[in-house]
Amino acid sequence: MLIEGALSKVAAGLVSTAEIEAMRGRIVALTDLPARPTLNRHDLTAALAIFLIVVAATFPVVLPFALIDDVGMAKNVSRAVAVAMLFVGGLALGRYAGYGSWKVGLLMAGLGTALVVAINALGG
């Protein structure tokens, strides 16, 4: 029996009730459960790689606080570094996605600048 609203109107037009019942019957008839997922060496290596990517991406933004004694100046330099990183990331994304790399870079830097302005307006 087809549950009302289980499929979108487009998807419901692609399959008949008999086809859905046939799929449901095959699923119910499955006797073996899929193997329980486990963590292996590859998963742990991937998790470590992701951790290192996050640390490497955060490090340039935090570095001004370690090098500059004036907190206000360090905050401004950190924000400038973050916006510059957004621009470079936008260049890479635009090139990869097939859009104009400069356009995407400027768009991302502009978005970052708007967020910095909003944070400053809220007292941050």
Flag whether pLDDT at 113 surpasses 80: yes
pLDDT tens by residue, 40-90: 999 999 999 999 999 999 999 999 999 999 999 999 999 999 999 999 999
Cα-flanking dihedrals φ and ψ of residue 87, to 5°?
-60, -45
DSSP H or E run through 59: helix 41-67
Q: Which amino acid is at 2?
A: L
* Separation CA 105–CA 100 (nearest Å): 9
pLDDT of residue 1: 45
- DSSP secondary structure code for residue 62 in this structure: H
* Separation CA 67–CA 77 (nearest Å): 11
pLDDT tens by residue, 6-22: 667 777 778 888 888 88
How would residue 5 be classed by pLDDT, with cut points 50, 70 and 90?
A: low
**pTM reported for the whole predicted model:** 0.64
> What tokens were used for 42?
């590859």
By CB neighbour count within 10 A (0-12 exposed, 13-18 middle, 19+ buried), where does 7 fall?
middle
How would residue 2 be classed by pLDDT, with cut points 50, 70 and 90?
A: very low
pLDDT of residue 79: 94
